[in-house]
Each structure stands twice: as C-alpha cells, then as structure tokens.
Amino acid sequence: MEQAVKILIVEDNVIIADDMQSMLEEIGYEIVDNVIVYEQAVEVLKTQQVDLVLIDIILASDKTGIDLGKHIRENYDIPFIFVTSNSDRATVENAKTVKPNGYLVKPFEQQDLYTSIEIALSNFIYGTGDGKPEGNVNEEEVVTSNSVLKDSIFVKKQHLYYRIQFGDIQYIKADNVYLEVHTVDKKFLVRSPLKDYLQKLPPKKFYRAHKSYIVNVDHIDAINSKDIMINNNLIPISKDFKEFIISAMNS
C-alpha cells in the first residue's frame, strides 16, 4: 500500500503554521499535526507515525527548535528541516550542531517548501541521513538507517515520495537507466543501478534472479527450467538462481 509522506509542523506562529499546512496539503503531503511547543512535538513523535518534521527554531516554550532537533537525532530515524526567520551566523552555527536535513528561511513560497522537503527526503533516504560523509558508513548501515520505516522503502512518483512495504514489492526490472518497481497493481520508476537497489532490500527476501531482474521470493507462483511466474508475469532466471530455488524447495 502506498502512503503520502507524513509531516509534523512545529511552529509557534499560528498564521504561518496554518499557511504551511495549506501549502503542504495542496501539494499532497499529509499533515500529522500542527503544534506550537517542544513538549507537544515530543508527544506527537511518541504516539504518531511521522516521516519528516518542519521546525521553527524559536518556539513558545523554554525548549527551542534546536532542542527538538537534538531530541529527534537521539531518538528517531527521521529527517527534519529548520524553518526560521533567523539566518544570522550564530543561529546557523548553533543549528548545525544537530545536523538538520535542511534550513529554510522565512518568508518562503510553496515551491521553496516543496523543494526543501524533496531534497531532504531524497538525501535522507539515499544518502547517510545523519549528515555523516557517506564513506564513513558501510552499505548495510546506509540501508538500515535511512529507510524511514524498517519494513519499507520510499519510491518517488510524480512529485511525492510514497512508502512501499517491502512485502508488497513483487519484482524489479532494469530498463536502461531506470528500474521498474512492480507491486501487485502499480509500477514505479526509479533511477538507480540494479545492484545498488538490491542492497536497499531485505537480503533474505530479494534476490538477483537474472541480470535484469530482482525478485521477491515470497511472490513466486511457479517455476520451470528457464522462468519463474509472479502475478502471471514470466520472468527469466539464471542457472544459479534456478539451482538456488530448487535447493530451497527441497530443503
């Protein structure tokens, strides 16, 4: 099942917060909640599913947005963007200590908000998430730390990133520079090498069945000497994969 990205807004100016919510809902994002203080945000994060947080640095409480950013970094694996009127050197340096995934200065337009969210999500999902240089982590850490949910992956379709449950992915087909990610009833296009995408998927479920295909073994309906069938689609398989499947069937 695909779901829109869920966003928490933390902004103590109610008018600005409402404007942000309207902008985001018009684009197609889902607003989980719209709160004004640190304590409310902490409670929402504890009880609701949140994919990204937009945080004003100055809040109507003793705790600041930077405190909230620190709390998120220490307790959650989600990206956040500071949305603030303050762009002075001291504020920026202070904000950098909690490694935000973006910094948007008010006033801004809808397109600025959309672009900041898109880039933050993309970098978080396919980069290292916490701001570390990519070379400092291995491939497995990149995969596990950047999937916003451990049983899901985000796939871009038009102007939104949709969450796809790993179990819903049936197979992935390489098509020139793109990959076709097939679920039961939908197809998503992803720009990625097949071998790189395989590393983002659970290793005990997804296998390279052919030079052009990754398959979810849970969705295999039938097999012969050259192909497997998934959802009435015949998919070619390599000799090694055929031997692997037959061995698994007989074990």
Which tens digit of pLDDT belongs to each residue from 187-212? 888 877 888 888 888 888 999 999 99
What CA–CA distance (Å, rounded) separates 70 from 57? 12
Mean pLDDT, residues 64-83: 94
Which pTM value belongs to this model?
0.55
What's domain 169-250's architecture?
Beta Barrel (2.40)
Residue type, 227: D
Confidence of residue 74 (pLDDT cuts 50, 70, 90): very high
Confidence of residue 251 (pLDDT cuts 50, 70, 90): low
Comparing C-alpha atoms, which of 74, 73, 61, 47 is closest to residue 10?
61
Confidence of residue 153 (pLDDT cuts 50, 70, 90): confident
Secondary structure E strands in 129-194: 152-157, 160-165, 171-175, 178-182, 187-191
Q: For the segment 107-147, what is each residue's pLDDT rounded down to a tens digit?
A: 888 888 988 898 888 777 655 444 333 333 332 222 323 33
Average pLDDT in the chain: 83
Q: Are 75 and 42 in contact (CB under 8 A)?
A: no
Phi, psi of 19 (to 5 degrees): -65, -45
Please state, for a pLDDT cut of 70, what percent of the chain lies above it.
86
Helix orientation angle between 65-75 and 38-47, rounded to the nearest 10 degrees: 20
| Cα distance between the two ends of the chain | 32
Domain 6-126: assigned CATH number: 3.40.50.2300
* H or E segment and range at residue 9: strand 6-10
Helix (H, G, I), strand (E, B) or coil at 143: helix
The whole-number pLDDT of residue 204 equals 85
- Alpha-helical runs (H) found in 37-193: 38-47, 65-75, 89-96, 110-126, 139-146
Q: What is the 3-state secondary structure (H, E, C) of 192-249?
A: CCHHHHHCCCCCCCEEEEECCEEEEHHHCCEECCCEEEECCEEEECCHHHHHHHHHHH
**Could you give the residue range(s) of every CATH 3.40.50.2300 domain in the chain?**
6-126
Mean pLDDT, residues 77-99: 90
**Could you give the residue range(s) of every CATH 2.40.50.1020 domain in the chain?**
169-250
Tokens of 118: 């898109």
Q: For the segment 211-249, what is each residue's pLDDT rounded down to a tens digit?
A: 999 999 999 999 988 999 999 999 999 999 988 888 887
Q: For the segment 154-188, what is each residue's pLDDT rounded down to a tens digit?
A: 776 666 667 788 899 999 999 877 889 999 888 88
